[in-house]
Structure 1
């Protein structure tokens, strides 16, 4: 299960998604800090398969956790070489460019 929250602002669709067990936690490594804040990520608790249709619609995505990031890689939205890991927790961002 993952938490998802969708924001619609000025024509953009921002998707925030994180693995359920990471919600509310903070990870630090060197100067890097990743806060999986409830106010940003906690929306609807859904099955991982829901992520596919949401990523298709999203223009921007902020993803945290093994399940969320791996699914985005599998679907071709994230390059696995661009995934940031903080305390071993994967974090990826995606933006679709408009031409």
Structure 2
């Protein structure tokens, strides 16, 4: 998975997690769009364990792709009902409290 960590002005982390095979692609369906070509997603390759450790300290996490969604569900910060699909690509966001 590819992970990009962003920081807000007050130091909180916003993390983008994207399946490797989706990075650099763009998906559109009706009025919805997933643009994985932007710098928001261009980060570093991480293992499943590394992703799990990183999202524990996050404020907001953005998940795109089957593997990424599975990690979010495993971590207990998203559930299947909170996942949307755009061109059959799963996407979810979570605020970690």
Q: What is the TM-score with the length of structure 1 in the denominator?
A: 0.89
2:46 equivalent to 1:46: yes
Q: Which residue of 1 aligns with 2:65?
A: 65
Structure 1 unaligned blocks of 5 or more: none
Deviation at 1:38?
Answer: 4.0
Query: Runs in 1 of length 4+ with deviation above 4 angstroms?
Result: none
Say which structure is richer in strand. 1
Structure 2 unaligned blocks of 5 or more: none
Aligned residue-pair number: 96
Separation in 1, partners of 2:46, 2:96 = 23
Separation in 2, partners of 1:31, 1:92 = 16
Q: What is the TM-score with the length of structure 2 in the denominator?
A: 0.91
